[in-house]
Structures are given as structure tokens and as C-alpha cells.
Chains A and B, each alone.
Chain A
Amino acid sequence: MIWAQRKSNVWIYAELLVVVSALWFMGDKFYVDLRTYYSPLGYDITNTWRFKLNKLNSQLPAYVPEEESASDQATNLQQLMSQIRQHPLVDGVCVCYYSCPYSWGNRWGDIASVEGDTSLVAQKVFQIRSVSPEYFEVFRIKDSQGNPITTKLLEGSEEPILVSQDMGEELFPKQSAKGRKICIHDEGPEITILAVTPPIRSNEYCKSDPCLFEIIAGADYAELINNMGVENAELCVRMKKGLSQDEMFQLLEEMGDRLRVSNLNVYGVSSIADMRKEQLASYKEENNKQLALMTFLLINVFFGIIGTFWLRTQQRQGEAGIRMALGANHFTLGKYLYGEGLCLLLLTLPFTLAFAGNMIYMGIPDADRLPLTVGRFLLVFGGTYGLLAFLIALGVWFPVQKIFRIKPAEALHYE
């Protein structure tokens, strides 16, 4: 029957061929995005805000001349943090450098394991996050066993260093990194790893970057703050409840002078959720474009099937009439049309499989963020066919309804 109707079938068949291939390809990228998006980030930014710091303009009356300001920058920062912490709505305050989520900031350094197989990671650079001990509480980062990483734990240790799970695996394959020794930069001192955190991803669309947490505390605290510049510190605050931007502005306005210590001043605030939105905007836009294109293809298939089968049933009303007159019931009649539509779809299989195989052979689908397993292929490929089968059935349904409404006698007129 498909062969008999080849003239009108060839167009819809060609369309199916292109659409299945394109949908599989785009669907696969979409699936990888979706899986990556919903896998854990390693931290939680609910109700967190980034406070932006600057130094007071020297022309202002409130400016304290450098020589008169008795305390140093690091103490000022600590004082500012404790003033913010005193607000009843504040849950926690921390500072960090190049480590605030969704800030684009990052810093890298050479790190080598002292005990492990050094040949594996020789000359390797890892991301270094410099954070104050409260960082883990503010962003709800737990260790790989799921226990909270408390300030008490960190402050109790002399030189606390934490590594992410994926970094631990790179440095010490197949063993636990906890309690092992590493050194930062070429000839740095040996430091023991205090705890292992889950893998940390910089945003929902990336895979994790192995990283190391260097704690800003103790003896090195003042030195680090002075080196990095106090106004460059990322001051992150978790609030006890969700506030709108205007409510937050209101709160800061009320805090007034408590947002300033000597010349160190909080000049602005951004919700980290907004920073996230901004960072994800381009990914989202790309995905929306792709979704629009996929929808476009699906609608076209739907239209194509409706139109083609409608015209066909019209031309063959006579035949349908005879069949009905001879006792074929509605079910058998519909079966032919549905069968024909789905058969057309199945016939694309050899070509689309060849296309998919070719793409995979050339390494075009993204295997970096999600391994390209048989399961993933079957799911997306099968999903594509399932979706199209559904649309075809829906498209055939309209014309079939039409035939059923005709009485056999009327249908025979066409003959």
C-alpha cells in the first residue's frame, strides 16, 4: 500500500527522514543539558546575597585619613562582618576570593600530592578557592559523607585544606583523599587534607572543576586580605528568609552606618540568584532557540501527516465505502491508515540509524558532560521515534474520524 501511494508518500517520507535525524541530534544535546542541569551543584544559594565593598572617597567628610585609621584592613573587614552578622535576619556571613558562586571569578594553582602517584598529576593546575570558615555553612556545603563542615571543625585545625571529590580522585585514585598530604605550588609546605567536599560545579550547565579550598583564617588571614585587597573580597551573606530586592535595599538603608568600618564601605548588594540568572541567560537563550526549532519540526510533521492522509482518505473514500459495505468495521479501516503512517516512520530507521552512527563515530554528540552510553542513545533515539509515532497517530486520527462519519452508501457514490 505504501508502494502504491509512493508518489504522495515520498514527500512525507523525506520529511520524516530529516526530522527524525535533526530531532535526535538536538534532543540528545537537550537531554545532556537537562541531566547536567538537574545533577547536584555541590552548594545551595537560597537566600544568599553578595555585598559589594569599596573604600570611601577621600573627599568625603566621613573619610578617615589612612594615617589616623588605627586598625588594619583585615580587622576592619572582620569588624564589618560581625556588624552585619548582628542583624536579626542574617543567618551567616563569609568572605571569599574568586569563589562566590556565579561570579565568573576563578583562580588556579599548581598542586601536587605528596604521597600519591605524583606522575599522574605532575604539573597539573587546579582551581583554588580561598574562603573563610563560614563559607561552607553559608552555602550549605557538606562533606562527601553528608556531614556539615562546621567552623568549629575548620578552626580546630591548624592549616585546614579541603578538596573536592573529583580532585581527590585525581590526586589519589581509588583511595580516600581525607588525611592525605599535598603541597600547593612547587615548594610549598606539606598540608594534610581535612575533608572532602562533593564535586563543585560553577553553574548548572557545566561539569565540575576539581578544586581545592584554602581557608582564610588564623595566622594567614591578615596577610591574605592585605595581598588580595580588602575591597576585592567577596562578602557573601545568607538571610534567614527570602527577601525581594526592594526589601533588601530597605534593610541596608536601615542598617546605615553599620555597613561601614573606617573607610571600608558596603556600596551595593546583588542577590546571588540574580547573578545566577544573568550567568545562565546565554545558555537558556541557546536552549530556547533549539526548543523553538524542535517544536517547529514537530508541528511540521503533524501538519504534513494530517494533510497527506486527509487527501488520501478523500481520494479513497470509494474504496473505504466498499470495504465498509462488505462488513469491515471501523477498527480494521482505521488500522490500515494508522499502520501505513507508522510503517512510513519505521522505514526511516535504516537511514536515521546510519546517520546517528556516523555522528557518534565522528564524536559530535557531547560525551564530555554525560558519557554516551547505550542507554542514553536508546532513550533519546527511542524517545524521538515515540514522539513522532504519537504525532503521526494524532495526525491520522483526524482523517479516520472523517471516514467513520460517512455512511457506506454515501461512500459508494464516490466509486
Chain B
Amino acid sequence: MNYKFFKQAWQLMRENPLVSIVSILGTALSIAMILVVVLMFQISNSGYKPESNRNRMLYVLGTEALSLNEKNRIRNRGYMSVEVVKECFYSLQTPEAVTAIAAEQKPVSLPTKRLFKEYAIKYTDPNFWRVFDFTFLNGKPFTEADFQSAIPQAVVTSKVASALFGAESAIGKTIILDDIAYNVAGIVKPVSENAQQAYADIWTPYACSPALMKNSYYDGISGPFQTVLLAYNSSDFTKIKKELEQRRVQYNKSKRDMNVNFLENPITRMEITSGSNGFRKASLNDYFLRTGFLLLFMLLIPALNLTGFILSSIQKRQTEVGIRKAFGATRRAIVYQVLYENLLTTFIGGLLGLALSFLLLKLSSDFLLTAGMLIRPGLFAAALFFVLLLNLFSAGIPAMHIAGQRIVSSLQGSD
């Protein structure tokens, strides 16, 4: 049955090439725009290297220090100090791993030559390499022992390695950061800026930076760090939040002037995608409503075109439909026939749209795109879903219209 419809649809397409082309292009454009929105969501939300476990991560991206004196209240919103990291986070038992990260842009020099080009630096701890899964091309990450004794070890991307040392192997070589000589211990594959928490050009243990260790103010609470917590399972999130709250209360007991709180943190990846950050929580409902409305808009506009086209061309086939009905075709069969016939156009358009969406994304983004970010089952499911939906929107009304006509008037070929 389907093959017959397919042949029929092919004939119809050839009969009116211009309208077919316009329909296919319109569909392709609409599907491409929708898939760009889906891709953006996917890139922000789903896990890929080195943030493969995003669905198990909790983020503390903002910290508030609040004075105990209620009369003359001082409030500082920023990040946390090493002390808070140690007291409230490293002591947590429920998560699989907890890492603290301070990000900066700094120039890196060679022992023989002072350089000014700046790189993205992440000062972190050994747990970082457990929370995130980097691909090491050479060497290894800095270890707990390195960290405890503040041995200056650095991990760099292969891009940085070749910029600084050319074709020579960078392992074991020295780089100068903050006037401190670091030994290059590992080389990793460059990562996309979209893996925001993991992304950098160079990673070093923060214990090596006296400036960061000392960087605390507001009663030792505020500082340069954010934390990422990796749970064994996302079902542990509530438990982790509860434990963190206990640590916080415990820690605050030791404070005389100010108290720490983490505002709406920790937040999940989905919350970040929907617009939350460390200091402001966005409503998930609003996000879905807004995105849903946009997607619907991008479907409905081309659907109006297609409905018009299909209605016009179907008028010509009234007699054919009338005959089919006269010979006993049900209303349902007619509706399916129209929907099926139209599927060919929508499918070709959908495929083109899928290709076009990659192209549009590539053109509109200046960050590194990897296959792991783009090619995911969810994308194809979304493409198929929106193609079918568009087909239903555009051919649905014409199908009902023609199937609902009386046999006699259909046979007469009048409206």
C-alpha cells in the first residue's frame, strides 16, 4: 500500500515541479531552524567528552557572604574561598567526587623567553580528572600527592603544546605561569568552550598558587572558586543537597562576622540550560514555554504555505477522490492517502533540513564542535518528530476537507 502511495506521490511531485521545490525548500528551512534550536539545547544539556556525566553533576556557581550584624548588613555575592571548599565540599561523603575550580586568563612564558599571549587557565584539584573525562594524548594528570605537596605540574592541550614547543614533545618541559615554573605533566585533546566547567587551555593545581590560596575576604568566605559535584546517581541529588546544607550550617557555627550561603545552588545541568546561573534561578516552565512557542511558530508559518498549496492541488483531484469513495473507500482511507502522499515531500525536506541545520550551526558558532555534541539519537528523533508534525499540520486540513466532501459534489468536481 505504501509503495503505491509513494509512486503516486512521486508522480504528483513531478507534475508540478516548481511547487514541489518550493514546498521542499520551505520544509527544509523550517526543519533546519527547529533543529538548530534542538542542537543548541543538546549542546548545552547533554553529556559529551570531557563533560560526559553532566546528568550526574551538580554545580555550585555562586556564593554569598552575609554579615551577621542585621543592622548594617553587608552582602557579597561572588565565589568561595579555599576554606569554604575544604570545610563544606571536600568533606562531603555522598558524591563520588567533588572538584573546585578557579578560572583566569593569563599569559604563559617560557623559561628562556617572556611571552604575552594569554591562555585560559583553570586552577583546580586532582578530583577534576575524576569528575571530567579528558582524553590524554600523552602523559598524565597531576596527582593527589603532587597537589598535597604543591608540586607545580600542569596539563596543557595539544594546541598549547605545539604553540609553545612546536613539534617537540612538551612532556617534561617547563612553562612559566604567575612567575612560577610548572612542569608539563600531561597533554590532552583540546576541548570545546561549551564544556564550560572543564574548558581551558592549561590546568594546574591551585595549591601551587599562593595568590589563590590567600585570596579570601569577607571573613574568609569569599574567594575565587566554584565547585562541581559528581553524584554516583542523579537520584542522590537530594541527599547531596541535604548533606551540603549540614556542612554549611556546621561551618557557619565557626564564623563570627559573616555566614556563607550558596543562594539557589547547587543547580543541575538542566537548570543551567534553561538559563539559571549561580546567582539567579530561571523558571524551567518559562524556558519550555518560550522554546515551545518558538518551535511552534517556526512550524506553523511554513505549514500555512503548505496547506494552501495542498488544498489548491487537491481540488484538481476531486473527481479521483469521488470515484474512490464511490467504490467504497472510507473517510479514514482518504485522509491517510493524502497524508502519506505528502510525506514524501516532507521527508525530502526534512533530510535537507537536517543537513542544513549542521551548516547553519557551523556558520553561526565560533566554538569547537565535535561529533559527540552533534550526532545523538535525540537529534534524529526530534527531526523525525517535527517532520511528522509538520506533515500533519500542513496536510491535515486538506485531507479532512477532501475526505469530508459529499460523493456527488466530488464527482461533479465543484467546490
Give the CA-CA distance A214 to B304 in the complex, in Å.
61
Q: Is A14 an interface residue (CB 8 A)?
A: yes
| A229-B180 Cα distance, complex, nearest whole Å | 23
B117, B300, B305, most chain A CB atoms within 10 A: B305
Is residue B364 within 8 Å, beta carbon to beta carbon, of the partner chain? yes
Tell whether, in the assembled complex, residue A311 and residue B313 are in contact, meaning their CB atoms are under 8 Å apart: yes
Q: Count how many pairs of residues, one from A and one from B, have CB atoms less than 8 Å apart in the complex.
A: 106
Number of B residues, CB within 8 Å of A: 39
Residues of B within 8 A of A267 (CB): 106-107
* 8 Å CB contact of B316 from A288, A299, A315: A315
Residues of A within 8 A of B180 (CB): 57, 59
* A311 in contact with B114 (CB, 8 Å): no
Is A184 part of the binding interface, using a Cβ–Cβ cutoff of 8 Å?
Answer: no
B 272-314 binary contact with A (CB < 8 Å = 1; else 0): 0000000000000000000000000110111011011101110
| CB of A55, distance to nearest CB on chain B (Å) | 10
Q: Do B113 and A253 have beta carbons less than 8 Å apart?
A: yes
Q: Which of B29, B178, B309, B415 contacts A296 (CB 8 A)?
A: B29
Q: Is A12 interfacial (CB-CB < 8 Å)?
A: yes
Task: Enumerate chain A residues within 8 angstroms of B315, measured Cβ to Cβ.
Answer: 7, 315
**Are B309 and A311 in contact, with the CB atoms below 8 A?**
yes
Q: Does B371 contact A (CB under 8 A)?
A: no
Cα of A237 to Cα of B357 in the assembled complex, Å: 43
Tell whether A398 is near chain B: CB-to-CB under 8 Å: yes
State how many angstroms separate the Cβ of A57 from the closest Cβ of chain B: 4
Instruction: Tell me how far the C-beta of B379 lies from the nearest C-beta in chain A, rounded to whole angstroms.
Output: 19
A109 CB to nearest B CB, Å: 19
How far does the Cβ of B307 sit from chain A's closest Cβ, in whole Å? 5
- From B16, B22, B33, contact of A303 by CB (8 A): B22
> Which residue of the partner chain, among A269, A288, A297, A308, contacts B301 with CB atoms under 8 Å?
A297
Q: How far is the CB of B286 from chain A (nearest CB, A)?
A: 17
Q: Is B133 on the interface with A (CB-CB < 8 A)?
A: no
Q: Among residues 242 to 282 in chain A, which have CB atoms less than 8 Å away from a CB atom of chain B?
A: 245, 248-249, 252-253, 256, 267-270
Q: Does B327 contact A (CB under 8 A)?
A: no
A121 at interface, CB cutoff 8 A:
no
A18 at the B interface (CB under 8 A): yes
Tell whether, in the assembled complex, residue A253 and residue B115 are in contact, meaning their CB atoms are under 8 Å apart: yes
Encode contact with B along A302-313: 1 for CB under 8 Å, 0 otherwise.
Answer: 011011101110
Chain B residues with CB under 8 A of A256 = 114
> With the chains together, A213 CA to B179 CA distance in Å?
36
Q: Are B107 and A288 in contact, CB atoms less than 8 angstroms apart?
A: no
Whether the pair B311, A7 counts as a contact (CB closer than 8 A) is yes
Chain A residues, Cβ within 8 Å of B179: 56-57, 59-60
Chain B residue, CB-CB nearest to A288: B364
The reply on B197 being an interface residue by CB < 8 A is no
Flag if B29 contacts A306 (CB, 8 Å): no
**Measured between alpha carbons, how far is A268 from B364 in the docked complex, in Å?**
30
**What residues of B have a CB within 8 angstroms of the CB of A18 in the complex?**
300-301, 304
The smallest beta-carbon distance between B139 and chain A, in angstroms, is 26
28 A-B residue pairings within 8 Å (CB atoms): A7-B311, A11-B305, A12-B304, A15-B304, A57-B179, A57-B180, A59-B179, A245-B117, A249-B116, A267-B107, A268-B106, A268-B107, A268-B116, A268-B118, A269-B116, A296-B29, A296-B33, A300-B29, A300-B30, A303-B26, A303-B302, A303-B305, A304-B304, A306-B22, A307-B18, A308-B305, A311-B16, A315-B315
